Structure 1
Amino acid sequence: MEDYKVVKYSSSNYKEWNDFLDTSRNATFLFHRDFMEYHSDRFRDFSLLVYRKNKLITILPANLDGELLYSHQGLSYGGFLLPNKVAFKTVFEALKCVLVFLERNDIKKIILKQIPKIYCNKPSDDLDYLMFILKAKLFRRDLSMTIKLDKKNQYSTLRKRKIKKAQNLKFVDDTDLPSFWNLILIPNLKKKFNVKPVHSLEEITRLKQTFPYNIKQFNVFDDDGLLAGCTVFETEKVAHLQYVSTKKNIKDGALDFLIHQLLTTVYKNKTYFDFGISNENQGKNINLGLLNWKQSFGASPIVHDFYEIKVNSHPLLNNVML
């Protein structure tokens, strides 16, 4: 283990960190430091870099809260990011070094929010196996609805009927975030759930300017103005529906038409279209109406796992390799 070194991220690692993402098999633009640090005032960053013989072999986007290390709470998913080519034994030893490092820093647990498998560019289940060895606690499992886009659309009869009724609407690849945010998204979230979007308008505008090829806005109009919109986070394989909303009782089918255009035109060459989760109460309940709406476009479930790892469990790794 003397070949390994764990380093806490600092601004001096900025370029090295971001360059690593370009050659990672399970990284997306969410892990770029310019994305992670838009909310740096809310989280105490404790991201880690692991080296083997001075070569960077894994990074962990993370923040610290008391004695708990979270795979970053400001991100939709996280975990250990791995190079495109890395031996399982190296991942195994890197994880053990991280646990020992955290134990020496009086950190008790890691709360690990795994990356859904559809976002990985190649199989990356190293950590899934090691969670089993460490007797990590699977304490939460979210259900996300996803469409594999190489399959023929399997819309429900109701979706087909609503899309047909909305053919006269105008679909626009738009830069107009404020109209969607202020006229539709914020009022709807306030009225229905009494919450605000995770990102403020100022934050999402700044992020879209920084990542113009990854963050897209699409809106639907009729002659009287804006009817519906969505903000999409786009990665190499996946188009993720980050925000979506419509004016109520204005034009039947506007939202269905919007999704149809995304699936059949904009993202027809992506591998997956991810509607996101339909869970509430830390994964323990499902918003059935929301799930059924996603399913009516032909989406099917994938899971998003959350683990709790006791840092002092690292001795369980001692006798794994024969």
Structure 2
Amino acid sequence: MNTYKIVKYTSEHYQMWNNFVANAKNATFLFHRDFMEYHSDKFQDFSLLIFDKKDILKAILPGNILDNVVYSHQGLTYGGLVLDENSKLSEVIQLNYQLLKFLSEAGIEKLQLKIIPNIYNNFPSDEMEYLAFLLNANLVRRDAIAILDLSNKIEISRVRKRGIETGKKHQLQIIEEDTFDSFWKELLIPNLNSKYNTNPVHSLEEITYLKSKFPKLIRQFNVYFEDKLVGGVTVFITKNVIHPQYISGNTAFNNLYGGLDYLYNHLITSVFKNEKYFDFGISNENSGRNLNESLHYWKESFGARTIAQNFYEIETKNFVKLNQVLL
């Protein structure tokens, strides 16, 4: 086994970390320190950098620690070991051996990973799926994500077409705006409080801060009927994937105006028509064991189809299982 040096992230690594993320084969702006640290008060950071014997950075792990378990990452949609585009499988096996050995010797018993869906990768990168098998990892959750391939679109259903025509008939206006104030205060927060007794993951102050850091990657589209705000969507943009992070509207927006169909069709066929994938997100509950059938069908009726995202729990002591893998 090759030897590697593992170092906990500090602010001194800020630029090095972000440069690595920018050139990694399986990373998005969610791994940028400015994004990770907007909620640093909620998580105890345990991010790691892995260097080879020449002090060249080979991998990073966005992470936090809670109750003797390292997570990658509880505050992010996905995580896992972030790799250089030139990484080879044998090297990743050796990296994981050193990583898990490091954690085990530090008294950390488990590592939990939420694997980044493969459509977000710049190059094929299923190394961690293979490592999960080698390490007898426990699959603790699997989500079904509805994905639309924008270069190979399936024709949308007649029901969606009717909704789009309804939106046109009501002359809905879609306007991109630089602020989130009206959408958050008038629609998103009241609707989440009323329906789920919860608040958005990002507060208005947090999403405004993130927009200031990533102005081209976080965009807000609001929908108006007769100059009244009736709906909207907050979109996260990565190199390969468009993902609506928040979507909300009043009762008439969904039931009378055809607003949701009209808005998504506008994003798919106009604003982001030249992108690769449109990620409708999950329709799961109970750690993936239940599916909201009608919600997933709505996404599929736009032509979306399903991919899986896996969540693994790895016992760090299992690093020894990698000793005899390479022949």
TM-score, normalised on structure 2? Answer: 0.96
Name the stretch that deviates more: 164-173 or 108-117.
164-173
Following superposition, the deviation at residue 130 of structure 1 comes to 1.0
Counterpart check, 1:295 vs 2:300 = yes
- Counterpart of 2:252 in structure 1: which amino acid? N
Following superposition, the deviation at residue 65 of structure 1 comes to 0.5
Partner of 1:86: 87
Name the stretch that deviates more: 65-74 or 173-182.
173-182
Following superposition, the deviation at residue 224 of structure 1 comes to 3.5
In structure 2, C-alpha distance between the alignment counterparts of 1:104 and 1:3, rounded to whole Å: 15
What is the aligned-residue RMSD (CA, Å)? 1.1
Partner of 1:273: 278
Please give the residue correspondences for 1:14-163 in structure 2 after superposition, counting only pairs within 5 Å: 14-53=14-53, 54-163=55-164
- Counterpart of 1:218 in structure 2: which amino acid? F
Partner of 2:9: 9
- Helix, strand or coil at the partner of 2:162: helix
Q: 1:227 aligns with which of 226, 230, 233?
A: 230
- Counterpart of 1:252 in structure 2: which amino acid? Y
In structure 2, C-alpha distance between the alignment counterparts of 1:76 and 1:204, rounded to whole Å: 15
In structure 1, C-alpha distance between the alignment counterparts of 2:185 and 2:294, rounded to whole Å: 25
- Helix, strand or coil at the partner of 1:147: strand
* Gap regions ≥5 residues in structure 1: none
- Counterpart of 2:299 in structure 1: which amino acid? K
- Counterpart of 2:139 in structure 1: which amino acid? L
Once the two structures are superposed, what CA deviation does each residue of 1:123-161 show, in whole Å capped at 9, x if it has no partner? 001111111111101110011111000123521111101
Partner of 1:318: 323
- Helix, strand or coil at the partner of 2:252: coil
Counterpart check, 1:304 vs 2:304 = no
Alpha-carbon distance change, 152 to 303 in structure 1, aligned in 2, over 3 angstroms? closer
4+ runs deviating over 6 angstroms: none
Name the stretch that deviates more: 149-158 or 58-67.
149-158
- Counterpart of 2:314 in structure 1: which amino acid? I
- Counterpart of 1:81 in structure 2: which amino acid? V
Counterpart check, 1:252 vs 2:257 = yes
Q: Is the 8 A contact 2:146 2:300 kept in 1?
A: yes
* Gap regions ≥5 residues in structure 2: none
- Counterpart of 1:13 in structure 2: which amino acid? H
Q: 2:246 aligns with which of 243, 246, 255?
A: 243
Count of residues paired in the alignment: 322
- Counterpart of 1:152 in structure 2: which amino acid? K
Once the two structures are superposed, what CA deviation does each residue of 1:140-192 show, in whole Å capped at 9, x if it has no partner? 00111110001235211111011012122111111231111111111111111
